[in-house]
Structure 1
Amino acid sequence: MGSNLGMHQYILETKHLIKDFNGFVAVNDVSLQVKKGSIHSLIGPNGAGKTTCFNLLTKFVAPTSGRILFQGTDITHEKPSQVAHRGMTRSFQISAVFPQLTVLENVRIGLQRATGLSFHFWRSDKTLDALNPKAISLLDQVGLADFAQEYTASLPYGRKRALEIATTLAMDPLMMLLDEPTQGMGHEDVERITALIKKVSAGRTVLMVEHNMNVVASIADTITVLARGTILAEGTYAEVSRNEAVMQAYMGTAAGTTEKAQQ
């Protein structure tokens, strides 16, 4: 009975995950539990193992040892495509990689993947046009409906990141993995993308790596702090920001961390 409860409560679990790169242990005994329907943030200083964790979860890197469970199923040895098919999608996997296409066409490619028409560019316009209403609806969700016919290359940086989220949503994932979604953005774009993540998280789970502590503080339900490949602390922002070990890992107070993240 306890097992069924765990499967229901946690959409993603890792058990004693270790990744050793020829003697360098990037991830060391990490056991994560991500609650279904939550926004869960991985934070930590540079070199803490956050990106390696993401690569392990999405199967771009194989673990040295440990297990990964998604919806109670062991996915430790599955391929990236299998994991994506199960409903765990990382934003860059289907990001706007076609700058010469319009914003609408990029989202349509995401929808093609979801319907099994992946990259069938030779299909008739009529077939592809049938995807337009859904594509426009997704663009509307991320505030890009007015940019539908713009070429992706001409979009400002923050809007390109919003398009990545739209193409990810086109796959209708149960769980979205966002790798530093606000990196390199100005204040206005950060606020827009933060609000967007909060909005699209309704009905799904979000796991994100994020350096900006203001973003983490405003939308994350649970925060896992990594340092040197191990979990240093976990809890709400209020809990982890008061943690002495966390403050030392960032070489300053929680306030200092915020300032550092914004620089």
Structure 2
Amino acid sequence: MNHHANPILEVRGLTKEFKGFTAVSGVDLTVQRGTIHALIGPNGAGKTTCFNLLTKFLEPSAGSIVYNGRDITRESPAHIARRGIIRSFQISAVFPHLTVLENVRVGLQRKLGTAMHFWKSQSTLAPLNGRAMELLDEVGLADFAHTETVSLPYGRKRALEIATTLAMDPELMLLDEPTQGMGHEDVDRVTQLIKKVGAGRTILMVEHNMNVVSSIADRITVLQRGAILAEGPYEEVSRNPAVIEAYMGSADTELAGAH
């Protein structure tokens, strides 16, 4: 497949300098439509800063971000979200005392632009319940619909975050360390979930767990000290001597079949 067939996101020369420190340095990144693309690298490699630049939580010092052929480098975070670039933590399950269903409904309301109308009557919101249940079904949470979110197990909370992200109808979904802090069983479940919701969507994810990356990512970009060290399919990247060396000195990740 020609990797330049259908890019949804093209980042060129992306750079971010903080007082005398370059966090992201001249990053070129192309994300193909309909793929799962993983951003990996040792701690402090600039992965989160990259996400912050793509969603305009930070202004780049240099470089351009082109989404669906349109330059969005100067757009506001709200604009970028409206274009369909949605980052999971932006809409995490922030309402612990709402039920799981109600949390997803809030995501659907945001999509409709009625986010702050919490006082709306139940009858106005009822039409959203059907769609909310479909989304819960998609992430395996239908049985938890009426559970208060605060009492969900951790792994299920991450699944709920994915459901509320899906409620925003993302065209490009940014997942920030989706399996962080999870036990084996949850990691496996969430990995399968990402693979499932990734079908027909585009996902860019920052992820530490190499088992996750090797099993679901179509393409991997390795960052080190804010610059791209390697890019390609897992098989190729994991055999790259520079990548192996970068990871050898790093306790948080091992490349060869970690965890």
Shorter-normalised TM range: over 0.9
In the TM superposition, 1:133-152 aligns within 5 A as 133-152=130-149
Q: TM-score, normalised by structure 2?
A: 0.95
Instruction: Report the secondary structure of 1:250's partner residue.
Output: helix
Residue 259 of structure 1, CA deviation: 7.0
Corresponding residue of 1:132: 129
- Identical positions, percent: 68
1:40-87 alpha-carbon deviations (Å, 9 max, x no partner): 000000010000000000000000000011111111111111000000
Residue 202 of structure 1 deviates from its aligned partner by 1.1
Change (3 A) 1:85 1:37: same
Tell me the residue number matched to 2:189: 192
Residue aligned with 1:76, SS: coil
- The superposition leaves residues 7-45 of structure 1 with CA deviations (integer Å, 9 ceiling, x where unpaired) of 961101111011000111000000000000000000000
- Contact kept, 8 Å, 2:210 with 2:257, in 1: the verdict is no
1:33 to 22, 30, 35: 30
Alpha-carbon distance change, 67 to 137 in structure 1, aligned in 2, over 3 angstroms:
same
Q: Please say if 1:250 is aligned against 2:211.
A: no
Letter in 1 for 2:156: R
User: Which has the larger displacement, 115-124 or 139-148?
Assistant: 115-124
- 2:54 is matched with which residue? 57
Q: How many residues align?
A: 256
Counterpart contact for 2:244–2:255, Cα < 8 Å: no
Aligned to 2:69: 72
Distance 1:111 1:234 in 2: 35
Task: Tell me the amino acid that sits aligned with residue 60 of structure 2.
Answer: P
Does the 8 Å CA contact 1:211/1:261 hold for their aligned counterparts?
no
- For each residue in 1:172-210, what CA deviation from the matched residue of structure 2 results, as whole angstroms up to 9, or x when unmatched? 110100000000000000000000000001111000000
SS in 2 for 1:32: strand
Whole-angstrom CA distance in 2 between matches of 1:225 and 1:41 = 8
8 Å CA contact 2:133–2:142 kept in 1: the answer is yes
Q: Distance in 1 between matches of 2:122 and 2:135?
A: 20
Q: Secondary structure at the match of 2:221?
A: strand
How far the C-alpha of 1:118 sits from its partner, in A, is 1.3
- Shift in Å at residue 124 of structure 1? 1.1
Which of 215, 227, 233 is 1:218 aligned to? 215
Please tell me whether the aligned partners of residues 7 and 72 of structure 1 are also in contact (alpha carbons under 8 angstroms): no
Q: CA deviation at 1:119?
A: 2.2
Aligned equivalents of 1:8 and 1:87: distance in 2? 21
Task: Tell me if 1:45 matches 2:30.
Answer: no
1:234 to 231, 235, 249: 231
Between the aligned partners of 2:28 and 2:210, the Cα distance in structure 1 is 23
Q: Which residue of 2 aligns with 1:156?
A: 153
Partner of 2:254, secondary structure, is: helix
**How far off is 1:258 after superposition?**
4.1
**What is the CA deviation profile of residues 226-254 of structure 1, one whole-angstrom value per residue up to 9, with x for unaligned ones?**
0000000000100000000001111269x
8 Å CA contact retained: 1:8, 1:71 = no
Relative distance call for 1:128 and 1:8 in structure 2 (3 A) is farther
Opposite residue 168 of structure 1, the aligned amino acid is T
Correspondence for 1:93: 90
For residue 101 of structure 2, what is the amino acid of its counterpart?
Answer: L
The answer to whether the Cα contact below 8 Å between 1:180 and 1:208 also exists between their aligned partners in 2 is yes
Q: In the alignment, is residue 107 of structure 1 matched against residue 110 of structure 2?
A: no
Over aligned residue pairs, what C-alpha RMSD do you find? 1.7
8 Å CA contact 2:238–2:256 kept in 1: the answer is no
Mark the runs of 5 or more structure 1 residues left unpaired by the alignment: none
Contact 2:135 2:163 in 1 (8 A): yes
